[in-house]
Amino acid sequence: MKKLAFIFLLAIIVGLPCSSQAQSSQQTLNQYMADLQKNPNDYALREKIIRHAQTMKPKPAVPEEAHRQYVMGKTLFEDAKSVQDFKDAIEKFRKALLIAPWWPEANRDLGMALQAAQEYGEAIRALKLYIATNPGEELSRRAQNEIYKIEAKQEKATKESSRQAQAAAAPKQNTLDDLLRKIDGRRYTSPVDNGNYFMVIDVTGKVFRLGILYPQNYDVPSRRGQYVEDVRDEIRGRETTVPVERGANPFRFWPVSRTYVISDDGDRITYRIRYNDGDVRQYIFLWQR
């Protein structure tokens, strides 16, 4: 009788730490799950939950609602015929994993659905979580190989996107280059001070040379017929703004930028000077055919 009582007491003493440990593990899982509800996209937390669930004895069960969402997602995935169909399946898988993030099959199928929807980065993350559930050596190997396939598709999609962006930008660049070739060598003039002298823009390749041309009947004899170049600016678009350094300008107001706007037909150049006080002066240069 005493022996049986001793054995019973020993069982209670030995069992107490195990029960306490299980309760503590469940509390930790509950806290993790509460945090996940607030931030479902925290993949580091999802992996932490998976690792923790593997240490629990017994392992956490998959709730019935997670089963429901998973089966619905599986059905939609198998019947999917479009990207939107796959996205509908993804939504169901994600709901299941918000309830039971440690579930291997749900992580795996979410990854495959994301791949089908061409959401490659998300697909890789889902399959890495599947591997973290420790499904076994063979299944982990398959999942890792699948990740490599997705990475290849992701790289191809990135290159294709880059090519499309370059193709979209090419016509604009070609149009500018064609326009500059068209007006190369031209001289544009704008009369100043009632025609007493002219401002001139000479085009050489992508460079606009701005200067002043004095007529033969100019009031100052020493200036008659002279051309004085003022600035040279490189053109980078149909509209180009060039900042101006103040330097040792003694005047109270000084220009801070020069802007050139080329008309679509190339026959006119609008020239604007912006000053530090906000004033803007505009001149129209016309091609001298």
- The pLDDT score that the predictor gives to residue 265 is 93
Beta strands in the chain (DSSP E): 187-192, 197-204, 207-213, 227-234, 239-243, 255-262, 268-275, 280-287
Supply the CATH number for residue 246's domain: 2.40.160
Check whether residue 208 and residue 124 sit in a common domain.
no
Residue 19 falls inside a structural domain: no
Same domain as 35, residue 143: yes
**Are 39 and 119 part of one and the same domain?**
yes
Assigned domain for 146 exists: yes
Q: Is the peptide bond before 215 cis (omega within 30 degrees of 0)?
A: no
- 55 within domain boundaries: yes
Whether the per-residue pLDDT at 19 is higher than 70: the answer is: no
- Check whether residue 212 and residue 265 sit in a common domain: yes
pTM (whole model) above 0.85: no
Structure tokens at 94: 């994600």
Contact 244, 257 (CB under 8 A): yes
Total structural domains in the chain?
2
Edge-first strand listing for the sheet containing 187-192: 227-234, 207-213, 197-204, 187-192, 280-287, 268-275, 255-262, 239-243
Domain assignment present for 229: yes
pLDDT, position 246: 72
Q: State which of 123, 158, 193 marks the end of a domain.
A: 158
Please report, for the domain that includes residue 55, its CATH number: 1.25.40.10
36 and 143 part of one domain: yes
Contact status, residue 32 vs residue 48, Cβ threshold 8 Å? yes
Q: What is the pLDDT of residue 158?
A: 92
- Quick: pLDDT tens for 221-234: 888 889 999 999 99
In a domain, 246, yes or no: yes
Check pLDDT > 50 for residue 65: yes
What's residue 167's pLDDT?
80
Residue 252 tokens read as: 């109270």
Question: Is residue 219 assigned to a domain?
Answer: yes
Sign of torsion, CA 215 216 219 221? Answer: positive
Question: pLDDT by residue (tens digit) across 111-139?
Answer: 999 999 999 999 999 999 999 999 999 99
Q: What's the confidence (pLDDT) of residue 193?
A: 74
| Claim to verify: residue 211 and residue 130 sit in the same structural domain | no
Asked if 254 and 190 sit in the same domain, the reply is yes
On whether both 151 and 192 belong to a single domain, the answer is no
Mean confidence (pLDDT) of the chain: 89
Instruction: Clarify whether residues 127 and 250 are in a common domain.
Output: no
CA dist 187 and 198 (Å) reads 12
Is 14 a member of any domain? Answer: no
- Give the pLDDT mean for 257-262: 96
114 in any annotated domain: yes
Q: To 5 degrees, how large is the angle CA 152–CA 123–CA 92?
A: 150
Does the pLDDT at position 7 exceed 90? no
As a whole number of Å, the CA-based R_g of the chain is 37
Same domain, 152 and 195: no
> pLDDT band at residue 253, thresholds of 50, 70 and 90?
confident
Least confident of 73-82, 106-115, 239-248: 239-248
Is residue 29 within 8 A of residue 56, CB to CB? The reply is yes
Do 30 and 147 fall within a single domain? Answer: yes
pLDDT in tens, 175-189: 889 999 999 999 999
Decide: 274 and 260 in contact? Cβ < 8 Å. Answer: no
From the number of C-beta atoms within 10 Å of its C-beta (0-12, 13-18, 19+), residue 150 rates as buried
**27-47 pLDDT per residue, tens:** 999 999 999 999 999 999 999
- Domain of 135 in residue numbering reads as 24-158
pLDDT at 9: 44
35 and 116 in a common domain: yes
DSSP secondary structure letters along 247-287 = TT--SSS-EEEEEEEE-TTSSEEEEEEEETTS-EEEEEEEE
pLDDT at 173: 65
